[in-house]
Structure 1
Amino acid sequence: MRAVRSRDSRFDGWFFTAVVTTGIYCRPSCPVVPPKAENMRFYPSAAAAQLAGFRACKRCRPDASPGSPEWNHRADLVARAMRLIADGVVDRDGVPGLAARLGYSERQIERQLLAEVGAGPLALARAQRAQTARLLVETTALPMAEVALAAGFRSIRAFNDTVREVFGLAPTELRRRAGTCPATSGALSLRLPFRAPLCPDNVFGHLVATAVPGVEEWRGGAYRRTLRLPHGHGVVALRPMPDHVACRLSLTDLRDLPIAINRCRRLLDLDADPVAVDDLLREDPLLTELVDKNPGRRVPRTVDSAEFAVRTVLGQQVSTAAARTLAARLVTAHGEPVDDDEGGLTHLFPSPSALAALDPERLAFPRARRRALLALVEALAAGEIDLEVSGDWRQARARLAALPGIGPWSVESIAMRALGDPDAFVVSDLGVRLAARELGLPRTPAALTARAAAWRPWRAYAVQYLWATGDHAINTLPAA
């Protein structure tokens, strides 16, 4: 209740408030004068509020809140299910497909989601479809039939009924309120919200410093890259702004819009709760100054877990520049070509199945690393290791560690940036060791790991602050 009274935006996405007298639900920071306490109801998700019969506030747009940080820092069934639903699995494969990916029965998943989120998988997917539909209605001039298909609706009637129920307006009225729409196109301009503060230097600096030519670039003040998506491919440009990240997406198939948005948010760690993270890390006197200097550091993640795993092996015991060169050679030889009218992007990063057919003798790096790379891509292509959003973090670590040439540094790097484990800790990383020496932290891996127990469950974020002590391009936002 205090969060609503103070209009605290830090809680947007954590929960939603509904007013029984108006039938409207809002985000906690809604600027409208809060109603009487007896008229308010609280829901853990937008889908739960919609199920209870409330429609979205037209002023604060609660459906566009940042996602709950709960689903990205937990590894249990509910968190894994929420990540998969956000990635469009229910729309593509239905609830049976979700259950198959998670290894639980449909009834178990439904029961646990209802208990914690207040809505089952179908309702959660429906809420996401409604949000996608609103984006397409308001930001494109696509015919409504194409909007319905792109948003994942099976019929125009279901599309119309859902939009009216969730937003209190017909689709044509939503478009009219939004004003002039751009010409029909696969290119969309969106705003990605986040919880303040955000330090763009570390997340954008890291992505640009390690960018693979042809797949990623920094152009005109924006990080750009290609995306491999379920129905086609895309190109995204992400530009940091004071209160949001500007996102421009060009897609070959608009059905991939919600998946592309979700992966971009994951890449930039935009659903994190930086206040909770920084408050805990500040309790360590050796980290206090680092946190206060540039609060809101995020963990740079990935849009493709298999790609990042491959790049991690390529980067073993070599410089950032050398790792980029090795990856660029693989991209040129085995990546899928794409057209990019706005810049210099040329390929999708090669898939594990494409790399599994590599001739090891043609790889220009040491034999041990060749063996590690081929073992990894073969395991990924065969489905023996699951690094996707549904993956079990503990199991993935164990299976990675069992591969030849995949040591603790590689395992924890993949856990931190591909699996998204916020407590991953690359204790043997050179940058972490140098920072430990400079700050007076223990230098041996065992002693530093013991000392870092106080940073749990946010050790991956502590790594970002430790890296900030070094003079490296990953810590600097490039010039526009």
Structure 2
Amino acid sequence: MAPSAGTDRSQPVAYRTLATTTPFDGATLFAFLRRFAVPGVEAHTEVDGVCTLARSMRLAHGPGLVRVRWDGSVLGFAFSGDPADEEDAERRTRRLVDADAAVAEIGARLGADEHLAPDVASSPGLRLPGATDVAEAAVQALVSQQISMAAAARCSAKLTEAYGERLEAPDASGVAWLFPTTNALAAADPETLPMPRARGRALVGLAAALASGSLVLDPERGWPELRRSLIALPGIGPWTADVVGLRALGERDVLLGTDLAVRRQLEARGITTTEAWSPFRSYATVHLWRPYV
């Protein structure tokens, strides 16, 4: 039977407050998440300054759907699915929005640098755009190699329609799919994937490593070890590994120095060393990305 999830379209969505550290820059966060979203898996709207996202999740007792809303002052959360999964869905959502970021400490460290002080002042409470599923985010990072965010979203949507699972009750927002499992992608023919063949082989290899357990993306292992494990896989270089660290694992000290947009900002600002930003270079990376979102 096809999985089911969604909300009752005849009833208004009942949000409850999702507590975060403050301040919370929801506008910038939602702008980033909107760019990363896979159509059909995650949907975004913005009406009168209120940002809303809805996305599917693969949970222990079946598919679920979460909604997150930022109205400029309060972050709201709503869940639809098996009640036994709500706690897990909320935990994953907190990772998605980086709810527990140590914003005061981050702001003090990065704001002390003259190159970043204006960014910190204009975006207090900046968050890392995270993920609700580590494997899904890792696959999306690989898909995104050397192409635009828009092209990556289209490619991920094609992968989802070919290898994902359609929800029995698609949501009114347009969320209708669960992202493919690593088992499904590991069994795919790389020659038929909607991407260059080398990247297709790399994607199937990554999915197979995750599905078999030969690669375990557990933050408890430590980022240096995980980074080495990722780069050891065919077709995964420093950029992809670092995006996995920043987005999928929520690593706080990843400077995406191989990213073109980040390099441009570093050069334009005359920045030659970033050691003073540690241990919050992931947040510096997001500040440097902001002009392009």
Whether TM exceeds 0.5 here: the answer is yes
Alignment partners' CA distance in 1, 2:117 and 2:104: 13
One-letter code of the match for 1:329?
K
User: Matched residue of 2:116: which SS?
Assistant: helix
Which of 228, 233, 242 lines up with 1:398 in the alignment?
Answer: 228
User: Matched residue of 2:115: which SS?
Assistant: helix
Show the counterpart of 1:201.
Answer: 27
Deviations 1:237-290 (A, max 9, x none): 111134431111111x11111111111011000111111101010111111111
Deviations 1:178-198 (A, max 9, x none): xxxxxxx9x763210111111
Task: List alignment gaps of at least 5 residues for structure 2.
Answer: 1-10
Asked if 1:261 is matched to 2:90, the reply is yes
Per the TM alignment, residue 391 of structure 1 is displaced from its structure 2 partner at its CA by 4.6
* Superposition pairs of residues 37-52 of structure 1, within 5 angstroms: none
Alignment partners' CA distance in 1, 2:187 and 2:171: 31
RMSD: 1.6
Show the counterpart of 2:286.
Answer: 464
Per the TM alignment, residue 390 of structure 1 is displaced from its structure 2 partner at its CA by 4.7
Calculate percent identity across the aligned residue pairs.
39
Asked if 1:218 is matched to 2:44, the reply is yes
Q: Which has the higher helix share?
A: 1
One-letter code of the match for 1:452?
T
Deviations 1:30-49 (A, max 9, x none): xxxxxxxxxxxxxxxxxxxx
Show the counterpart of 2:240.
Answer: 410
User: In 2, are the aligned partners of 1:188 and 1:250 still within 8 Å (CA)?
Assistant: no
Show the counterpart of 2:166.
Answer: 337
Alignment partners' CA distance in 2, 1:330 and 1:310: 10
The structure that has the greater radius of gyration is: 1
User: Matched residue of 2:183: which SS?
Assistant: helix
Alignment partners' CA distance in 2, 1:399 and 1:341: 38
Alignment partners' CA distance in 2, 1:428 and 1:225: 30
Asked if 1:233 is matched to 2:63, the reply is yes
Show the counterpart of 2:205.
Answer: 375
Alignment partners' CA distance in 2, 1:256 and 1:388: 21
Show the counterpart of 1:441.
Answer: 271
Deviations 1:146-201 (A, max 9, x none): xxxxxxxxxxxxxxxxxxxxxxxxxxxxxxxxxxxxxxx9x763210111111112
User: Matched residue of 1:409: which SS?
Assistant: helix
Per the TM alignment, residue 374 of structure 1 is displaced from its structure 2 partner at its CA by 1.2
User: In 1, are the aligned partners of 2:191 and 2:201 still within 8 Å (CA)?
Assistant: no
Per the TM alignment, residue 394 of structure 1 is displaced from its structure 2 partner at its CA by 2.9
The structure whose RCO (Cα within 8 Å, separation 6+) is larger is: 2
* Superposition pairs of residues 308-347 of structure 1, within 5 angstroms: 308-338=137-167, 339-347=169-177
Alignment partners' CA distance in 1, 2:83 and 2:105: 36
Per the TM alignment, residue 307 of structure 1 is displaced from its structure 2 partner at its CA by 0.4
Show the counterpart of 1:99.
Answer: none
Alignment partners' CA distance in 2, 1:241 and 1:388: 33
Corresponding residue pairs, total: 277
CA gap 1:388/1:226 in 2 versus in 1, 3 angstroms = farther
Which deviates more, 394-403 or 253-262? Answer: 394-403
Per the TM alignment, residue 393 of structure 1 is displaced from its structure 2 partner at its CA by 2.7
TM-score of the two chains, using structure 1 as the length reference: 0.56
User: In 1, are the aligned partners of 2:158 and 2:194 still within 8 Å (CA)?
Assistant: no
Per the TM alignment, residue 210 of structure 1 is displaced from its structure 2 partner at its CA by 1.9
TM-score of the two chains, using structure 2 as the length reference: 0.90
* Superposition pairs of residues 76-87 of structure 1, within 5 angstroms: none
* Superposition pairs of residues 96-175 of structure 1, within 5 angstroms: none
User: Matched residue of 1:286: which SS?
Assistant: coil
Per the TM alignment, residue 438 of structure 1 is displaced from its structure 2 partner at its CA by 2.1
* Superposition pairs of residues 16-95 of structure 1, within 5 angstroms: none
Alignment partners' CA distance in 2, 1:357 and 1:428: 31
Alignment partners' CA distance in 2, 1:278 and 1:341: 38
Show the counterpart of 2:5.
Answer: none
Per the TM alignment, residue 378 of structure 1 is displaced from its structure 2 partner at its CA by 0.6
Deviations 1:389-438 (A, max 9, x none): 55543332121110011000111110111111101121111110111122
Show the counterpart of 2:116.
Answer: 287
* Superposition pairs of residues 270-285 of structure 1, within 5 angstroms: 270-285=99-114
User: In 2, are the aligned partners of 1:352 and 1:380 still within 8 Å (CA)?
Assistant: yes
User: In 2, are the aligned partners of 1:236 and 1:247 still within 8 Å (CA)?
Assistant: yes
Which deviates more, 387-396 or 402-411? Answer: 387-396
User: In 1, are the aligned partners of 2:43 and 2:53 still within 8 Å (CA)?
Assistant: yes
